[in-house]
Amino acid sequence: MGSRGNGNATGPGGGPAVDKGVDFANYFCTYAYLYHQKEMLSDRVRMDAYYNAVFQNKHHFRDKVVLDVGTGSGILAIWSAQAGAKKVYAVEATKMAEHARELVKGNSVEDVVEVIEGSIEDITLPEKVDVIISEWMGYFLLRESMFDSVICARDRWLKPNGVMYPSHARMWVAPIRTGLGDQKMDDFEHAMSDWYNFIDETESHYGVNMNVLTKAYREEHEKYYLKTSLWSNLHPDQVIGTAAIIKEIDCLTATVEEIRNVAAQFTIPINMDRTRLSGYAGWFDVHFRGSTHNLAIQEIELTTAPSTNGGTHWGQQVFMLHPPFRVNEGDKVMISFTMSRSKENHRLMDVEFTCELQQSSGKRLPPVTSKISIE
């Protein structure tokens, strides 16, 4: 449960090359701080799912060799040892590895757990493993691209009949109502008003007309306020239509190429009358099922769906429509969805929604396309 990511200098799965130094500075360093680990360790939904998955399926760990990818504080490695593993390799790319060693020793499992500082792409293990456990999920599942590293670990070190924890993942999209879009539009308009005041004052005080930069300033702030997804923990009542699964992943067989681009076409019926389609929410769930040859005794699910209990630290990614639609029960939204990695930063995502509203009367509104970044 630690640093998420890929340390490759060459692009994984044939992608563009990644500068390891820049990647480390931009990404890994965040996970080297205890405050960040504490935030994740305080997520009870997350913690309970992994705890139950391990301790209700001890047969997967007893007398087995385990690899924890991105161990962070080391808690998954410690649980694996407590569940009976004979050896645990806990790999961590940041200096958090030093804290993990202290925690391992403090919990008297240092004879089982070996903490290795380094990226999973670069380290070498002395043996193959029976289990790979990792908390690799980013916002809307694939942000951060850490699953690349888990795939690398699986292909290098997992035995043919080995087990992945988690074993499966799904991505979901649903239509929502929320006031977040109005708030962001107000913020954008305030920023532009402030810019125009700045132009007037700069010209009157200093004799320089800044207006030639207005287009660039507007584009910059449109991206920040209107074209970037928002984090939220939504209430289930804010979901106004049936959620759709847009991607299913088998962690034993998935490839980097398979997750590099996600595309789906689906139709969502609206089930709430006289409301506003403000945009879409994206979330994920993961499952601990074991494998076909070695099933879990107790299957565990970890979901980040809208919840009445405050949800998880992942929350949901909200993709706003500007302007929103008025919708009624019985209307249908036909959606074409794509998500790909940002060309500027392979850990971030570019999302495109094209939606067409078919009203219950049969009338179809013109399709609307929204391009939104997950940053």
- Residue 83, pLDDT score: 98
pLDDT digits (tens, 9 = 90+) for 260-303: 999 999 999 999 999 999 999 999 999 999 999 999 999 999 99
Q: Is residue 309 part of a domain?
A: yes
Report, as residue numbers or ranges, the catalytic residues. 135, 144
Q: What is the pLDDT of residue 144?
A: 85
Residue 100, domain member (yes or no): yes
Q: What is the CATH number of the domain that holds 265?
A: 2.70.160.11
161 and 71 assigned to the same domain: yes
Per-residue three-class SS string for the chain: CCCCCCCCCCCHHHCCCCCHHHHHHHCHHHHHCHHHHHHHHCCHHHHHHHHHHHHCCHHHCCCCEEEEECCCCCHHHHHHHHCCCCEEEEEECCCHHHHHHHHHHHCCCCCCEEEEECCCCCCCCCCCEEEEECCCCECCECCCCCHHHHHHHHHHHEEEEEEEECCEEEEEEEEECCCHHHHHHHHHHHHHHHHHHHHHHHHHHHCCCCHHHHHHHHHHHHHHHCCECEEECCCHHHECECCEEEEEEECCCCCHHHHHEEEEEEEEEECCCCEEEEEEEEEEEEEEEEECCEEEEEEEEEECCCCCCCCCCCCEEEEEEEEEEEECCCCEEEEEEEEEECCCCCCCEEEEEEEEEECCCCCECCCEEEEEEEC
Same domain, yes or no, for 244 and 191? no
Q: Does residue 3 belong to any structural domain of this protein?
A: no
How many structural domains compose the chain? 3
Mean pLDDT along residues 23-39? 66
Q: Is residue 6 part of a domain?
A: no
Percent of the chain with pLDDT over 90: 86
- Confidence band for 35, pLDDT divided at 50, 70 and 90: confident
Distance CA 201, CA 218 (A): 18
Is 160 contained in some domain? yes
Sheet of 349-358, strand order: 261-269, 332-341, 349-358, 368-374
DSSP bridge partners of 87: 65
**Does residue 319 register a pLDDT over 90?**
yes
- pLDDT value of residue 54: 98
Residue 240 above 90 pLDDT?
yes
Residues 101-107: contacts with CB under 8 Å, at least 24 apart: 101/74, 103/73, 103/74, 103/75, 103/78, 104/74, 104/77, 104/78, 107/78
Do 154 and 252 contact (CB within 8 A), yes or no? yes
Q: What is the pLDDT of residues 321-332, one digit of tens each?
A: 999 999 999 999
pLDDT at 338 over 50: yes
Residue 75 CA to residue 323 CA, distance in Å, equals 45
- Which position has the token pair 């809208």? 306
Q: Pairing mode, if any, of strands 261-269 and 368-374?
A: unpaired
Are 193 and 117 in a shared domain? no
Same domain, 297 and 333: yes
Looking at every residue in the chain, the average pLDDT score rounds to 92
The boundaries of the domain holding residue 209 are 180-225
* pLDDT tens profile 57-92: 999 999 999 999 999 999 999 999 999 999 999 999
Same domain, 360 and 326: yes
Pairing relationship of beta strands 230-232 and 316-327 according to DSSP bridges: antiparallel
Check whether residue 363 and residue 217 sit in a common domain.
Answer: no
- Does residue 360 lie in a domain region? yes
Question: Same domain for 93 and 194?
Answer: no
Least confident segment among 16-25, 110-119, 135-144, 185-194: 16-25
Report if residue 7 sits inside a domain: no
Report the pLDDT averaged over residues 348-358.
95
How many angstroms separate the CA atoms of 186 and 172, rounded?
Answer: 29
Of 121, 136, 167, which residue is a domain's last?
167
- Predicted pLDDT of residue 72: 94
Using alpha carbons, list the distances in angstroms from residue 202 to 192, 214, 218.
15, 13, 18
Are 185 and 235 contained in the same domain?
Answer: no
> Band of the pLDDT at 310, cuts 50, 70, 90?
confident
pLDDT digits (tens, 9 = 90+) for 111-150: 999 999 999 999 999 999 999 999 999 999 999 889 999 9
According to the model, what pLDDT value does residue 346 have?
A: 87
Same domain, 161 and 184: no
* pLDDT the model gives residue 29: 56
